[in-house]
A = this chain, B = another copy of it.
Amino acid sequence: MTTTKDLVLAVDLGGTNTAFGLVDRSGQCLARGTMATDSRFPVAQFFQRLHENSQALLAGLKGGQALAGIGIGAPNANPFTGTIEHPPNLQWDFVDVRAELARYGPFPVAVTNDANAVALGEMLFGAAKGMRDFIAITLGTGLGSGIVVNGELVYGSDGLAGEMGHLTVTPRSDRECGCGRVGCLETYASATGIVRTALELMSIRRAPSVLGRIPSAELTSRLIFEAAQSQDALAREAFEVTGRVLGAKLADMVLLNRPQAIILFGGLAEAGNLIFDPTRRAMDASLPADCRGKVPLLPSALDGSEAAILGAAATIWTELRGKVPPAGG
């Protein structure tokens, strides 16, 4: 029995729960688990528990595999510094992930945010296999983007590039964004954005909607999706508006980056044609004639339940293959 370094530990650090798994080079997740994140307690305790849980997971595997490295996806993660800074849903204000993990062994560690992780996951294991120029967009609570150019993720000079969620929509909008400005793309193209769009449409349209029976604070993108599937006109229009706003910005991205594909990921993307069709139409309508219809808009090819783990795994596998600059640490 030989020891092969053919696995990475991949971690999706979330506000409530943390999922982790052991993933091989081909993107197979051989074992996985979850634990409460519990950010009430000191961060060192979190990494202690993560270490114990992953050791147990590893011990459960046959064949004596050893870890080649650790990939961690987290909100507000900075891939250059290996830190998590002011994460919105955690009680830790600053986490030096690399320093915390160094207590448990000299493993290579890659730290990334969720949209970048998804982009690398799609490139290694998903819908962007073999592509060198593409964009992955996560439509969750907000809008995240991972942009790949010449086969490498765009990190920018400080590791924080790819903030498509804060591009300004056209025409101008007054919707307040968490970043302190108004009219950012994610105030429309996200799970929370489509809720705001449905509310705005209810202020405009006279025809009744099943959504009118739900208190506005309880409205979710899931409920709008279900209403749209039941042919509720207002819910369908909410998807149309979302796609129109998103598609216009994707046209800008086509002009800037000429990607081979744009991949939509996350809860809102799971609405399928309801969101893909109007987005595709708006993207083409916003492009010069010679660019239309050339950039496919694809759904993610990562299994939704494992996508975050596969993304974190792809990040460390990519770094181990030397495709990402060592980036500061």
Contact = CB atoms under 8 A, between A and B. Distances in A.
Interface of A: 132-133, 147, 149-150, 152, 154-164, 166-168, 170-172, 179-181, 248, 251-252, 255-260, 286, 288-289, 325
A258 to B, nearest CB: 2
A328 to B, nearest CB: 13
Contacts of A133: 156-157, 161
Contacts of A164: 255-256
A317 to B, nearest CB: 18
Given A154-B149, A180-B288, A288-B181, A168 B258 contact: no
Contact of A172 (B149, B157, B170): B170
Contacts of A325: 150
A255 B252 CA distance: 13
Pick the 8 closest A-B CB pairs, nearest first.
A156-B258, A161-B258, A163-B255, A179-B288, A157-B260, A133-B157, A149-B149, A170-B170
A319 to B, nearest CB: 14
B147 A150 contact: no
Given A154-B150, A286-B168, A288-B166, A256 B181 contact: no
16 contacts: A133-B156, A133-B161, A149-B149, A149-B156, A150-B152, A150-B325, A154-B257, A159-B258, A161-B256, A163-B255, A168-B248, A168-B252, A170-B171, A170-B172, A180-B288, A180-B289
Nearest to A184: B288
B288 A157 contact: no
Nearest to A324: B150
A201 to B, nearest CB: 21
Contacts of A163: 255-256
Contact of A147 (B157, B158, B256, B288): B256
B171 A259 contact: no
Max chain B C-beta neighbours (<10 A), residue from A157, A168, A251: A157
Nearest to A161: B258
